[in-house]
Amino acid sequence: MTTPPNRMKAKHQRLVLVAIALVALVCAGLLAAWALRNQASYFYVPEQIAADPPEAGRAVRLGGMVEEGSIRTLPDGVTTAFVVGDGKARVSVRFAGILPDLFVEGSGVVAEGRLDADGTFVADNLLAKHDENYVPRELQEMTEHQKREVVAETEQGA
């Protein structure tokens, strides 16, 4: 009994395996990119939304300052409407839910949601930001030396 001749040399077999592995990696990358394309949430400021708005319904984050005198509660009692601006453009925002404690006029906010067909940003989540001069209540009554010790302890523990 004779064995069939080996048509591919070992070098060619390894080359085929490497090519198959590369194709599999590219396919996995494309599948991951396709699966995550709707999960990505891009960050916009009002000026960017005014210049090049994202498509309606696409999940985005909007960051800016809550304009003075713009916060109002709608008749349903749950929905809050306000305007986020960056000094160059303004975007109307609607949010139904409990407002964060730090959410006030003139403060920074990041709203996660989507742009409605009429151009209103419908927020699903609000993140209120404090300014850079914020000092936690616990640190306000401490001396400078105590503050440095607390900060040093916090950094060592991190």
What are 76-97's pLDDT values in tens digits? 999 999 999 988 999 999 999 9
Q: What is the pLDDT of residue 20?
A: 97
Sign for the pseudo-dihedral over CA of 126, 41, 62, 110: positive
Residue 111 has pLDDT above 90, yes or no: yes
Cα–Cα distance for residue pair 5/61, rounded to 1 Å? 63
Q: What is the mean pLDDT of residues 1-25?
A: 83
* Segments making up each domain of the chain, as ranges: 11-40, 42-128
Cα–Cα distance for residue pair 103/126, rounded to 1 Å? 8
pLDDT-above-90 percentage for the chain: 48
Q: Name which of 125, 66, 57 is nearest 91 in CA terms.
A: 66
Which residue ranges are tagged as binding site for heme?
130, 134
Q: Identify the weakest region by mean pLDDT among 14-23, 33-42, 114-123, 130-139.
A: 130-139
Cα–Cα distance for residue pair 83/106, rounded to 1 Å? 10
Q: What is the pLDDT of residue 131?
A: 66
What 3-state class would DSSP assign to 157? helix
CA contacts within 13 A on the Cβ side of 99: 20
| Band of pLDDT at residue 9, cut at 50, 70 and 90 | confident
Indicate the fold that domain 42-128 takes in CATH: OB fold (Dihydrolipoamide Acetyltransferase, E2P) (2.40.50)
Which residue ranges are tagged as binding site?
130, 134
CA dihedral 62, 67, 70, 71 (to 10 degrees): 70
Q: What is the pLDDT of residue 154?
A: 72
